[in-house]
Amino acid sequence: MNKAKLIKRFKEVRDFSLEISSFLSDEDHQIQSMENASPVKWHLAHTTWFFETLILVAFDDSYKLFNAMMNSLYNSYYNSLGKLFPRSKRGLVTKPTLKEIIRYRKYVDEKALAFFEKTPLEGRLKYLLLLGLNHEQQHQELMLTDIKHGLFFNPLYPSLNISAVKVPEEQKPPNRQSSNRQSSGWLSVDEGVYHVGAEPDEDFYYDNEGPKHKVYLNSFKIADQVVTNGEYLAFMEKGGYDDALLWLSEGWDYLKKTKRKHPLYWVKQDNEWHQYTLSGLKKINPSDCLSHVNYYEASAYANWLGCRLPTEAEWEVAAKKTLSGDDPSDLEGNFAEKKTWQPHLEDSFQFFGNAWEWTSSAYSPYPGFKAEAGAVGEYNGKFMCNQYVLKGGSCATPKSHIRASYRNFFSAPSEWQFTSIRLCKVE
Amino acid sequence: MNKAKLIKRFKEVRDFSLEISSFLSDEDHQIQSMENASPVKWHLAHTTWFFETLILVAFDDSYKLFNAMMNSLYNSYYNSLGKLFPRSKRGLVTKPTLKEIIRYRKYVDEKALAFFEKTPLEGRLKYLLLLGLNHEQQHQELMLTDIKHGLFFNPLYPSLNISAVKVPEEQKPPNRQSSNRQSSGWLSVDEGVYHVGAEPDEDFYYDNEGPKHKVYLNSFKIADQVVTNGEYLAFMEKGGYDDALLWLSEGWDYLKKTKRKHPLYWVKQDNEWHQYTLSGLKKINPSDCLSHVNYYEASAYANWLGCRLPTEAEWEVAAKKTLSGDDPSDLEGNFAEKKTWQPHLEDSFQFFGNAWEWTSSAYSPYPGFKAEAGAVGEYNGKFMCNQYVLKGGSCATPKSHIRASYRNFFSAPSEWQFTSIRLCKVE
Amino acid sequence: MNKAKLIKRFKEVRDFSLEISSFLSDEDHQIQSMENASPVKWHLAHTTWFFETLILVAFDDSYKLFNAMMNSLYNSYYNSLGKLFPRSKRGLVTKPTLKEIIRYRKYVDEKALAFFEKTPLEGRLKYLLLLGLNHEQQHQELMLTDIKHGLFFNPLYPSLNISAVKVPEEQKPPNRQSSNRQSSGWLSVDEGVYHVGAEPDEDFYYDNEGPKHKVYLNSFKIADQVVTNGEYLAFMEKGGYDDALLWLSEGWDYLKKTKRKHPLYWVKQDNEWHQYTLSGLKKINPSDCLSHVNYYEASAYANWLGCRLPTEAEWEVAAKKTLSGDDPSDLEGNFAEKKTWQPHLEDSFQFFGNAWEWTSSAYSPYPGFKAEAGAVGEYNGKFMCNQYVLKGGSCATPKSHIRASYRNFFSAPSEWQFTSIRLCKVE
Amino acid sequence: MNKAKLIKRFKEVRDFSLEISSFLSDEDHQIQSMENASPVKWHLAHTTWFFETLILVAFDDSYKLFNAMMNSLYNSYYNSLGKLFPRSKRGLVTKPTLKEIIRYRKYVDEKALAFFEKTPLEGRLKYLLLLGLNHEQQHQELMLTDIKHGLFFNPLYPSLNISAVKVPEEQKPPNRQSSNRQSSGWLSVDEGVYHVGAEPDEDFYYDNEGPKHKVYLNSFKIADQVVTNGEYLAFMEKGGYDDALLWLSEGWDYLKKTKRKHPLYWVKQDNEWHQYTLSGLKKINPSDCLSHVNYYEASAYANWLGCRLPTEAEWEVAAKKTLSGDDPSDLEGNFAEKKTWQPHLEDSFQFFGNAWEWTSSAYSPYPGFKAEAGAVGEYNGKFMCNQYVLKGGSCATPKSHIRASYRNFFSAPSEWQFTSIRLCKVE
């Protein structure tokens, strides 16, 4: 990527955060509904802090800090940098106000752009700039999922002023029904040695996506579509949540503790299932892509059909097969830029967008993986414990952020992300 | 109180809530730092809901609800009315916005004033109006203590735009030192039968203040002033927090669990003790009234000096003696209207204002107490368990809200209220 | 009490602990079902440690410790003596074995008796000996209630080899029915000043029972019998556990958290209510004295009938009236020596035995109370916080342990003691 | 394995449980120190219940239950069979007594042996018999680790009457020092496709060890010995527990929460490190095999040396290389039968015995794995979530129980098992 393109991308990414912010009131920006979520205001400041600290402070000798306290407030999990403000209290920081944070963004953007004009964007600097942009895109996804989680507690089920997903009345999923799922709609992959991991000549990839390496796969079949709301509803109605034999032991404990019998955001009103979306509470559309299931639910659903979840290598090998040859990075799908911020049914053979797909692979280092030294090295490696890999991106993922080799990761009970299920089976 | 006075009081009380609100940003109104605290926005709406539901809906046939959902959102602990929104999630309700809540207040105030004009304010209606006003004054105190608790988590220790307490450099506490506390500065009360409780002809008192009844008191001595920061600091410096024998068993467990060695809001910076106030972080003034101690701390401090806390009857009998004869309800002191919102030293013999004083009396019904039937009856009686009575009001209490018979109550570990210590001893 | 009597009492009390122990297996002695309970083995050792430390070590220069580690293992809450072994882990200490603890008891008893022979039992020594005996009697009650709690978790509902309470088929409660409870069976006490607290010339009383002092009581009526199982069952069947207005706020939270709808130890089998007793699971006898209710249940039941619980002063004044003149300390009733270890109906006007009676009085110091200095002073004063006073003793209380002035105390949710309800009302 | 050998093995395995039991008092058998541990008494009964239910009840029509309640008490996690007694309360079940459980064992053993005499031990029956024996051996290991954990809470650090590990004064680890660990003592394995998993013709293996399948491995080096106490002590002394960058994020949180700075069972006395063993508290021997580290500690230690943990496939491929050709199942090592029940240094190239070795592999199904239907199928598959695979067995593992393909699994914070570290590195 050349300098002009990098600068253009910088502006686009920084603007998209403000566009998300524009749908929210000052008060919406403030709330934090759980330790795993952060206020949107915090995301806006934290992504800015990243550019300020790792680029401007590090490379631009003439740079003057906007305000020294931003570092302690908007640093995140980087244990190696400064003293940490407790994560669970982020929602209490009302000052600086949103207006001051917007000024902080503007200040850093102006300084950064001025600095980029006079400096070659190469080497370590280029890498950190791309890292900062990808980092901000990750937080754009979290802005959407975190605010969704916070607003859900409001009994009014408030809607953002976005255009809701439009689902034509007559729409039907093409060529599939839960009844024939077992006999059709499967892609086959042959036994053999395959490569997985990021191509070394990509403009950017996270350290956890490399090194590219060989794996041995047995032959398998993988579904050409993700599970729909209607298919999952059948599982619910046939007692899926009551049959201990279908569930991982931890998952069964989770059900006992939470008394849950349906995915997060599903609400029964007037005897009909609805789901909370960023456009408000909507009737379930059976043909739409399921979302907001945790790993336990994904595993139990697969067991119920005598199937299993794919490993991350299986998913990646199959997904790459579906990409048209010319530019594998030009992915089509329901991504964040469409601003539906809600999964819906797309055409078949769609591995990207809509909702992240749980794999059965624990998040662990690829052979030969080395974490970077210092703060940047804290980015990924330290989370390689009790997390599962998810693939493919979601309706809250910016399109330019995702790749076939991308490894997202969340703990098994996580469900506030847009997450879904793709089935796999032997032979 | 006649109609004109009642209406004047209604306007004054309603306006004072908005005046407190005016010191805060939209985001400040939103935060909730613990289950015991509520967002200021919630207080503004909840006090309005009280007038709407218990007066307008109940008495004015022509009244139309502002918005039906206000009832489920801004009802509080009244189990008998409607379904309850979980208290701990109040901070997540961003909609209705602050602007809408201000409109709600205006709507209810207009309707109420129009209704008052055409209706005699007597009997049950008058009682409920006075109850509503006193209820709102209680919440005014909570607005101040709750926002103080929320802002304290901010490492910037933000200040409201109020005029800070002014303490002249040369100020000295009149006629007292911790060294001679034991031999001077004590009021004596003789053994005998005394009356306690509200006078039946008061304009208003809470049901828990009656019936007026007789108690038998042994003779006792009670301090003519509350404990100062400097006196308490001596207790800290002489190892008070490390001597298990001084503490209630529950209090010692509390110290072990919280690792606390000082009152809430005390912060050591550059080796000097400061305290967080609504004017920001300030150096401790040794002559000022101590505040924000819990019952355990109050009890341990009294033990350390071989003293004890007064019972509520002892406090009330002693306090009434200090009131000048003509109008015992015309109290002088550091109350909320002064807008310092921080205790400081006042003249001697001051039993009212500054900070609530812990008594050793568990909160329990007076002989002959009967809770009212229905929702209003939930107001006080149901809390008569594991709470202690506090007397005298604080710098966050509106002056017209407090009486000698007033019984405030909080659980032993509570410390986010302005609370202090007055010593007592046998003969 | 003269020396011969003291020595006789020492032998009797020490033997009774072993008699309780004789009903249990080695394994029964080991278990601890909650932090508030202790293994019976621990009780046997701890009561011995008390005599060893506070009498033999303190007064007998020739005494040699049985084994130094007994102090750290069998000390209890005395923060001022030695380092404390965590209370919740007492059930894990398998060594010393029960046999060694029995040897420890024998050793200390022999040394103590030899010492008593050659020493005048007067003054401080006499006081500590009586304190030690009363202390052991308190632990005898806990041995019974703690093992009952532990065995209850066993789905077999095991029985000790004691003779079960015998209830003749035809037994009927004399002169009372729940229907006429409101109009008969009440004792009246007139308004006036009364004395409460221990007589100064008693052989022994706990420091918390004094000083004897005056209280002013309004006139009241108090039930001549405690509540029966049948009366309480009516409360349950008429929805008492579902009506929030009857319950203290804390009590209602307790019900929500525990999902309880009946007293501890009540078990429904084959559609009939049973209760767990130390003779195994037995059908509820409606005429028997209710037991194992907590303060919340006692308060809600009283509210349901428009009554209230007595204060401790009311209870004591009324109870003393029922005692026959000659020797008020010669109490009749169902006490621990009868070895039924289960309450049952006794004749009317019975204020002692069967089950402790909740009062509405928070446990607090009497006017003029001074805790003793040092470890013995930790005995009572430090628990004067969030506890309620109970009066009258139970079927697990040794007869010689109880007095009208005796103040037992437990926290509101406590229910593993034999606890019951006596109603009170105005006028 | 033929019938005679099977019967012999049945007797040996059943006897070894009783031998472990013989070192303990009745009270030792009763205690349960945490939810993950069970009383030894429970293990003795539960392993018997397994044979009774899955063999005698299922196959022997003439069998009469010893006592029906054994099923509800001694069933374990099998959600599909009967109602479950809560795991955390196992330590409270004093009846049946130990004596009755020994009678239960004897009864079932006699019936089983009589049944085996007259029945061909083949097919499903043979499989379940072997499953039952392996199941009992697993519980033998837990008897040792669970009682060790329980006894550790006793401040006396009690010892079993076993012969303690003897470590000759002059013993030195052969050919290794922490200083040259980086340059010597490594086994090399070449890149390529390898087989892992149990051989299909083994007499017995758990379902989770199959199917045997191919994996692609990059070349790697693996340490020829596990980490010693002395090597780990260097990590501690050089601040390993204080450097956040070395730790997994979850591990760092664990350190903050537990305030741990050393492995479980390490105790500093008189300024010297000791460790609790089943022979009591012993000084650390620097040459001995480290044990009782959790996954976080294993991972941080490896990071500190710039190494990593092996994957389970790497471990298995390397371990198989070290086995002498003739009978790979004839493993040498420090196993449970030696009754040291404490790891110590053995000769080099030792992959089996002493302590389980953490791998970096999350416990997940092998390609083509199918859980069995019904209760037996609950054995392994349902735990494939947030657990890590450990290899090689320990000093508490019976020798005939372990294989190179054996997959043990525990959650990352587990440390009450004998667990240790073997390093791995690239190239």
CA dist D74 → D42, D69, D84, D175 (Å): 7, 9, 9, 49
ipTM: 0.90
Nearest to D364 among A218, A296, A360 (CB): A360
Q: Specify whether the CB–CB gap between B49 and B109 falls below 8 A.
A: no
| Chain mean position to CA B74 | 21
Q: Specify whether the CB–CB gap between A297 and A289 falls below 8 A.
A: no
Helix (H, G, I), strand (E, B) or coil at C13: helix
How far D381 CA lies from chain A's nearest CA (Å)?
Answer: 8
Among residues B252, B260, B180, B185, the alpha carbon closest in space to that of B422 is found at B185
Which of A366-380, B171-185, C114-128, D365-379: highest mean pLDDT? C114-128
pLDDT at D29 (0 to 100): 97
Q: Work out the mean pLDDT of chain A and round it to a whole number.
A: 90
The DSSP bridge pattern shows strands D213-217 and D220-223 to be unpaired
Residue C169 in this model has a pLDDT that exceeds 50? no
Chain D residue numbers with beta carbons less than 8 Å from the beta carbon of C73 are: 155
Q: Specify whether the CB–CB gap between B374 and B80 falls below 8 A.
A: yes
Count the neighbouring beta carbons within 10 Å of the beta carbon of residue D203: 13
Nearest CA in chain C to B374: C245
Mean local confidence (pLDDT), D190-204 = 94
> Which string of DSSP letters, residue by residue, matches B150-210?
HHHTSTT----SSPPPP--TT---TT--GGGTTTSSEEEE-SEEEEES--TTSS---GGG-
Helix (H, G, I), strand (E, B) or coil at B300: helix
Exposure on the CB side of residue C310, measured as CA atoms within 13 A: 33
- CB within 8 A of C400, min separation 6: which ones? C9, C137
| Chain mean position to CA D325 | 25
Residue D78 in this model has a pLDDT that exceeds 90? no
Mean local confidence (pLDDT), C8-27 = 96
Give per-residue pLDDT as tens, B402-424.
Answer: 999 999 999 999 999 999 999 99
Residue B170 in this model has a pLDDT that exceeds 80? no
Contact B218 C216 (CB under 8 A): no
The lowest-confidence range among B419-423, C18-22, C171-175 is: C171-175
Chain D residue numbers with beta carbons less than 8 Å from the beta carbon of A384 are: 248
Q: How far apart are CA B392 and CA B323, in angstroms?
A: 12
| Chain mean position to CA D340 | 15
If one compares B298 and B183, the residue with the highest pLDDT of the two is B298
Q: Specify whether the CB–CB gap between A418 and A354 falls below 8 A.
A: yes
Residues of B with CB under 8 A from a CB of C: 77, 79-80, 193, 213-218, 220, 244-245, 247-252, 295-296, 299, 308, 360-362, 364-365, 367-368, 377-378, 382-386, 412, 426
Give residue A169's pLDDT band: very low, low, confident or very high (50, 70, 90).
Answer: very low
Contact B382 C248 (CB under 8 A): yes
Quick one: tokens of C116?
Answer: 């008593």
Contact D215 A216 (CB under 8 A): yes
Give per-residue pLDDT as tens, A2-19.
Answer: 999 999 999 999 999 999
Chain C residue numbers with beta carbons less than 8 Å from the beta carbon of D30 are: 27, 30-31, 94
Sort residue B119 into left (φ over 0), alpha (ψ -120 to 50) or beta.
Answer: beta
Q: Which residues does residue B277 pair with via DSSP β-bridges, in sequence order?
A: B280
Give per-residue pLDDT as tens, B194-220.
Answer: 999 999 998 899 999 999 999 999 999
Q: Specify whether the CB–CB gap between A359 and A312 falls below 8 A.
A: yes
Q: Tell me if there are at least 3 CB pairs under 8 Å linking chains B and D.
A: no
Nearest to B69 among A29, A92, A156 (CB): A156
The lowest-confidence range among C165-169, C337-341, D222-226 is: C165-169
Chain D residue numbers with beta carbons less than 8 Å from the beta carbon of A77 are: 249
Give per-residue pLDDT as tens, A256-288.
Answer: 999 999 999 999 999 999 999 999 999 999 999
Which chains have at least 3 CB atom pairs separated by less than 8 Å from chain B? A, C
Give percent helix, percent strand, percent coil of chain D, each to the nearest 5: 40, 15, 50
User: What's the alpha-carbon Rg for chain A, to the nearest Å?
Assistant: 22
Mean local confidence (pLDDT), B291-298 = 98
Q: Specify whether the CB–CB gap between D197 and D213 falls below 8 A.
A: yes
Among residues C405, C217, C222, C216, the alpha carbon closest in space to that of C316 is found at C405
pLDDT at C177 (0 to 100): 42
Furthest-apart CA atoms within chain A: distance in Å: 66
Sort residue C258 into left (φ over 0), alpha (ψ -120 to 50) or beta.
Answer: alpha
How far B263 CA lies from chain A's nearest CA (Å)?
Answer: 21
Burial of D166 (0-12, 13-18, 19+ CB in 10 A): exposed
Mean local confidence (pLDDT), A124-153 = 97
pLDDT at B70 (0 to 100): 87
Mean local confidence (pLDDT), D307-323 = 94
Give per-residue pLDDT as tens, C302-345.
Answer: 999 999 999 999 999 999 998 866 666 678 889 999 999 999 87
The lowest-confidence range among B379-393, C158-172, C238-252 is: C158-172
Nearest to C33 among D72, D92, D155 (CB): D92
Q: Specify whether the CB–CB gap between B418 and B343 falls below 8 A.
A: yes
Quick one: tokens of D46?
Answer: 């539960």
Q: At what angle do helices A98-117 and A3-21 cross, to 10 degrees?
A: 170
The percent of residues in chain B predicted with pLDDT above 70, rounded, is 89
Give per-residue pLDDT as tens, B53-69.
Answer: 999 999 999 999 999 88
pLDDT at B20 (0 to 100): 96
Sign of dihedral through CA atoms B405, B411, B415, B416?
negative
Top residue of C28, C30, C149 to mutate, by most chain D CBs within 10 Å, is C30
pLDDT at A78 (0 to 100): 52
The lowest-confidence range among B87-96, C10-19, C83-92, C274-283 is: C83-92
pLDDT at B79 (0 to 100): 53
Give residue B84's pLDDT band: very low, low, confident or very high (50, 70, 90).
Answer: low
Count the neighbouring beta carbons within 10 Å of the beta carbon of residue D15: 10
Q: Work out the mean pLDDT of chain C and round it to a whole number.
A: 90
Nearest to C244 among B79, B215, B362 (CB): B79
Contact B218 C367 (CB under 8 A): yes
Contact D364 A362 (CB under 8 A): yes
How far D88 CA lies from chain A's nearest CA (Å)?
Answer: 14
Burial of A370 (0-12, 13-18, 19+ CB in 10 A): middle
Q: Specify whether the CB–CB gap between C314 and C423 falls below 8 A.
A: no
pLDDT at C345 (0 to 100): 73
The count of CB pairs under 8 A between chains B and C is 88
Give residue D168's pLDDT band: very low, low, confident or very high (50, 70, 90).
Answer: very low
Amino acid identity of C150?
G
Top residue of D42, D83, D87, D92 to mutate, by most chain C CBs within 10 Å, is D92
Residue B347 in this model has a pLDDT that exceeds 80? no
Quick one: tokens of D149?
Answer: 């954990």
pLDDT at C180 (0 to 100): 40
Q: Specify whether the CB–CB gap between D391 and D316 falls below 8 A.
A: yes
Mean local confidence (pLDDT), C397-404 = 95
The count of CB pairs under 8 A between chains C and D is 80
Q: Specify whether the CB–CB gap between B16 and B138 falls below 8 A.
A: no
Quick one: tokens of C250?
Answer: 């804390």
pLDDT at D180 (0 to 100): 40
Place of tokens 């420090």: D334
Q: Which residues does residue D410 pair with via DSSP β-bridges, in sequence order?
A: D388
Residue A423 in this model has a pLDDT that exceeds 90? yes
Give per-residue pLDDT as tens, A291-304.
Answer: 999 999 999 999 99
If one compares B346 and B401, the residue with the highest pLDDT of the two is B401
Residue A381 in this model has a pLDDT that exceeds 90? no
Chain C residue numbers with beta carbons less than 8 Å from the beta carbon of B77 are: 249
Residue A408 in this model has a pLDDT that exceeds 70? yes
pTM over 0.95: no
Residue A343 in this model has a pLDDT that exceeds 50? yes
CB burial of A68-91 (b: ≥16 within 10 Å; e: otherwise) equals eebbebbbbebbebeeebeeeebb
Q: How far apart are CA B70 and CA B52, in angstroms?
A: 10
Q: At what angle do helices A249-258 and A295-304 cross, to 10 degrees?
A: 120
Exposure on the CB side of residue B204, measured as CA atoms within 13 A: 20
Nearest to B95 among A91, A95, A154 (CB): A154
pLDDT at D283 (0 to 100): 95
Q: Specify whether the CB–CB gap between B44 and B102 falls below 8 A.
A: yes
Quick one: tokens of A251?
Answer: 């998952």
If one compares D376 and D345, the residue with the highest pLDDT of the two is D345
Nearest CA in chain B to C411: B386
Contact D384 A426 (CB under 8 A): no
Q: How far apart are CA D83 and CA B299, in angstroms?
A: 50
Which chains have at least 3 CB atom pairs separated by less than 8 Å from chain C? B, D
Mean local confidence (pLDDT), B2-8 = 95
Chain D residue numbers with beta carbons less than 8 Å from the beta carbon of A308 are: 365
pLDDT at D1 (0 to 100): 83
Measured in residues, chain A has a length of 427
Chain C residue numbers with beta carbons less than 8 Å from the beta carbon of B426 are: 367-368
- CB within 8 A of B321, min separation 6: which ones? B187, B189
> Which string of DSSP letters, residue by residue, matches C389-424?
EEES--TTS-GGG--TT--EEE-TT--SS-EE---E
Residue A156 in this model has a pLDDT that exceeds 80? yes
Contact B249 C382 (CB under 8 A): yes
Amino acid identity of C290?
L
The percent of residues in chain B predicted with pLDDT above 90, rounded, is 78
The percent of residues in chain C predicted with pLDDT above 90, rounded, is 77
Amino acid identity of C350?
Q
Contact A244 D426 (CB under 8 A): no
Among residues B350, B387, B344, the alpha carbon closest in space to that of B365 is found at B387
Place of tokens 């009498």: C55
Contact C251 B385 (CB under 8 A): yes
Contact B247 C360 (CB under 8 A): no
Chain D residue numbers with beta carbons less than 8 Å from the beta carbon of A244 are: 79-80
- CB within 8 A of A157, min separation 6: which ones? A151, A267, A276, A280, A281
Q: Specify whether the CB–CB gap between B177 and B286 falls below 8 A.
A: no
DSSP single-letter state for residue B211: S
Q: How far apart are CA C237 and CA C219, in angstroms?
A: 33
The lowest-confidence range among A12-21, B308-317, C20-29, C66-75 is: C66-75
Amino acid identity of D288?
D
CB burial of B202-211 (b: ≥16 within 10 Å; e: otherwise) equals eebbbbbbbe
Contact A248 D214 (CB under 8 A): no
The DSSP bridge pattern shows strands D419-420 and D356-362 to be parallel
Q: Work out the mean pLDDT of chain D and round it to a whole number.
A: 90
Count the neighbouring beta carbons within 10 Å of the beta carbon of residue D277: 22
Give per-residue pLDDT as tens, D347-360.
Answer: 556 899 999 999 99
